[in-house]
């Protein structure tokens, strides 16, 4: 690890995923495909909800928020991966790195909360159907969405401020493919215990709380589904819940692993894989799992595409 004058530091070098040329080409193709699917799927969902009044319900309001988060979340990370994969210059400015870390932290936390809110919405709809419109009214929807966005952007400002107050005097080479907190702690010549404690506390409050709220909501939903007499209805409901739980687990699992494991258990290569799952894979799967399997959404999109093709 090289030593250099901290005061002259203006940029970092992201080491990326691999230096092997053919692996770089494969990574570039895969990430480009995932990014295009993420953008198209989430944009189609937002447009579908906007043009169809029948879809302007609390459930699709929260789904639209999730889609906006996923578009921004993926766009914060994936374009940088694509650029670094094909470029020999993997440098990123200090300000650029701070901004990337800020939006990654903010949008990641917002997604945790909005996933929990969506699970609660489904819990009320299935387990308390007679009280649904009273509980999940317009004011409640706006309030819950505001909490998700505020929690994300408010918490991120604290983390980024604390992180970039550290002196990075060990090296300016970051063994990661984007600016994320844990790899940066290894670059500092100062004790990062305070930063790690704040990170663990925030992860427990936001990630774990959101995960347990989501888990409990689905336990109640499944318990209610078991009481359904119709086998066909029960199977369809189980299929929907299983797919939702799969994508939720793929987001919360790697996030918990990345931000709640002890520093001694950190492995750069495993950390990269975990980060890839919740920054690139999950935003691609969300519109497919939550929306494209929904007949109302697909019918709306198909009808509008047919109208466009007829002009």
Q: Measured between alpha carbons, how far is 309 from 311 in angstroms, rounded to an integer?
A: 6
Output the pLDDT for position 3: 46
Radius of gyration of the chain (CA): 21
User: What are the domain boundaries of the chain?
Assistant: 12-293
Give the residue among 124, 117, 126 at the shortest CA–CA distance from 214: 117
Give 43-79 pLDDT, tens digit per residue: 988 888 888 888 888 988 999 999 999 999 999 999 9
pTM over 0.75: yes
- Residue 306 has a CB neighbour count (10 Å cut-off) of 9
Those residues whose C-beta lies under 8 Å from the C-beta of residue 12, and which sit 6 or more positions away, are 91, 92, 94, 97, 168, 172, 173, 174, 179
**What does the pLDDT average to over 201-219?**
91
CATH 3.90.1070.10 fits 12-293, yes or no: no
Q: Measured between alpha carbons, how far is 60 from 156 in angstroms, rounded to an integer?
A: 26
Give 97-139 pLDDT, tens digit per residue: 999 999 999 999 999 999 999 999 989 988 888 999 999 999 9
């Amino acid at each position: 690890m090289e030593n250099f004058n901290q005061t002259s530091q203006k940029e970092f070098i992201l080491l990326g995923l691999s230096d092997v040329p053919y692996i770089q080409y494969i990574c570039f193709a895969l990430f480009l495909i995932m990014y295009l699917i993420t953008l198209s799927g989430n944009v189609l969902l937002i447009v579908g909800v906007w043009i169809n009044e029948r879809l302007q319900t609390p459930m699709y309001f929260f789904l639209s928020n999730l889609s906006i988060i996923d578009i921004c979340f993926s766009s914060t990370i994936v374009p940088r991966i694509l650029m670094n994969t094909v470029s020999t210059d993997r440098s990123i400015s200090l300000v650029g790195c701070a901004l990337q870390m800020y939006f990654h932290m903010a949008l990641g936390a917002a997604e945790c909360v909005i996933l929990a809110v969506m699970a609660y919405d489904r819990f009320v709809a299935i387990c308390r159907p007679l009280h649904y419109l009273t509980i999940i009214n317009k004011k409640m929807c706006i309030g819950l969405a505001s909490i998700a966005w505020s929690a994300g952007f408010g918490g991120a400002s604290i983390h980024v401020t604390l992180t970039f107050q550290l002196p990075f005097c060990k090296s300016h080479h970051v063994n990661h493919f984007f600016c994320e907190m844990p790899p940066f702690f290894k670059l500092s010549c100062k004790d990062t215990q305070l930063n790690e404690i704040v990170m663990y506390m925030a992860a427990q409050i936001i990630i774990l709380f959101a995960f347990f709220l989501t888990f409990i909501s689905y336990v109640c939903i499944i318990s209610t589904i078991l009481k359904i007499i119709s086998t066909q209805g029960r199977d369809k409901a189980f299929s929907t819940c299983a797919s939702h739980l799969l994508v939720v687990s793929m987001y919360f699992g790697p996030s918990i692993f990345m931000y709640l494991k002890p520093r001694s258990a950190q492995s750069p290569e495993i950390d990269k894989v975990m980060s890839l799952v919740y920054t690139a894979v999950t935003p691609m799967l969300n519109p497919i799992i939550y929306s494209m399997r929904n007949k109302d959404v697909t019918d709306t999109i198909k009808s509008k595409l047919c109208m466009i093709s007829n002009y």
